[in-house]
Amino acid sequence: MDKYKNGQNPAAASEKNIQTDFKESMTYGEYLHLDQLLTAQKGVSGHHDESLFIIIHQVSELWMKLILHELRSAIRHIDADDLQPAFKQMARVSKIQSQIIQAWDVLSTMTPAEYMEFRDDLGNASGFQSYQYRMIEFALGYKTKHVLAIYEKDESLHEELLEAFKQPGLYDAAIQKLARSGFAIDPAVLNRDVTAVYETNTSVRKAWEAVYRDVDQYWELYQLAEKLVDIEDWLQQWRFRHMKTVERVIGFKQGTGGSSGVHYLKKVLDQYFFPELWEIRTTI
């Protein structure tokens, strides 16, 4: 006896409207430009594990592109006192960060012996040079002008980074929102040079303390604070997993781009983007 009456698979019959003729319409592959995306893994060594190395970093760069897209929109919404969309975008950033963190688990399947077989072929190319990562730092308020010199080879990219460097960051937007909400914020903070690294300020800490002590009155500001903490927490976890993966694969060797490698990655773990939001955990 046939499994299906009249030899017809019910599942196949239910999908009779599936499009199969794409001579005049756009395909999935065309929409995503998969011909370009899937041929962009051009290694320099021919080693089997170089594909892993390239794909992990390319995927991370795609996620970072989305992080920047969401952060920039969140800043605009905070500036416009429209916090609910900003909360959604900031929450999305945190979820994206969790994906990037898990990518290190895949890369760590590559052993030191395997990486050493093609590491020298990378020359001076290094993840330290990721311009999107620098833009994320800038968007979060961490500004270090000396890194801009890395990108002078590409004039248009250098200009793009310089413009991002000059823009207020996410925390600047949050502090301005505190001021608009009636908190007495030090004018020196409100009018600060946003190209400088943000430094902790007593008036900002007192404002956040007030928010956390009266959550019902300042519910939206409380939500804003917690979304900021989520982003920084996940970023520090990303940095930690990066550092441990590098240590696992190359130990304490110098980075391919000349950085001190693990020593540098350990040092940045001590950086804070939103310092008062961590300080008040002790003071409230």
28 marked ligand binding residue? no
From residue 183, alpha-carbon distances to 94, 109, 180, 187, 218 in Å are 28, 50, 7, 11, 11
pLDDT band of 15, cuts 50, 70, 90: confident
- Inter-residue contact 257 to 125 (CB < 8 Å): yes
Nearest to 91, CA basis, from 112, 70, 107, 76: 70
Tell whether the model's pLDDT for residue 1 goes beyond 70: no
Give percent of the chain above pLDDT 90. 77
Residues contacting residue 38 through CB under 8 Å, at least 6 positions apart? none
Q: Summarize pLDDT for 67-98 with one digit per residue, the tens.
A: 999 999 999 999 999 999 999 999 999 999 99
Residue keyed to tokens 């002008």: 145
Average pLDDT over residues 258-272: 83
Tell whether the model's pLDDT for residue 8 goes beyond 80: no
Query: Residue 10 has which token pair?
Result: 């019910």
- Inter-residue contact 269 to 243 (CB < 8 Å): yes
Residue keyed to tokens 């008062």: 276
Q: Which residue has the higher pLDDT, 108 or 126?
A: 108
Query: DSSP secondary-structure letter at 246?
Result: H
Break the chain into its structural domains and give their ranges.
Answer: 48-282
119 marked ligand binding residue? yes
Q: Tell me the DSSP string of 251-280.
A: TTPPPTTSS-THHHHHHHTT--SSHHHHHH
Tell whether the model's pLDDT for residue 14 goes beyond 70: no
CATH topology of domain 48-282: Methane Monooxygenase Hydroxylase; Chain G, domain 1 (1.20.58)
What local confidence, expressed as pLDDT, does residue 125 receive? 86
Say what the pTM is: 0.89
Query: DSSP secondary-structure letter at 186?
Result: -
> Rounded to an integer, what distance in angstroms lies between the CA atom of residue 59 and that of residue 65?
10
Supply the mean pLDDT for the chain: 92
263 marked ligand binding residue? no
pLDDT band of 6, cuts 50, 70, 90: low
What local confidence, expressed as pLDDT, does residue 267 receive? 84
pLDDT band of 4, cuts 50, 70, 90: low
242 marked ligand binding residue? yes
Nearest to 124, CA basis, from 255, 265, 242: 255
53 marked ligand binding residue? yes
Q: Which residue has the higher pLDDT, 19 or 57?
A: 57
What local confidence, expressed as pLDDT, does residue 277 receive? 98
pLDDT band of 192, cuts 50, 70, 90: very high
256 marked ligand binding residue? yes
Residue 218: φ, ψ to 5°: -115, 40
Q: Is 171 exposed, middle or buried (0-12, 13-18, 19+ CB in 10 A)?
A: buried
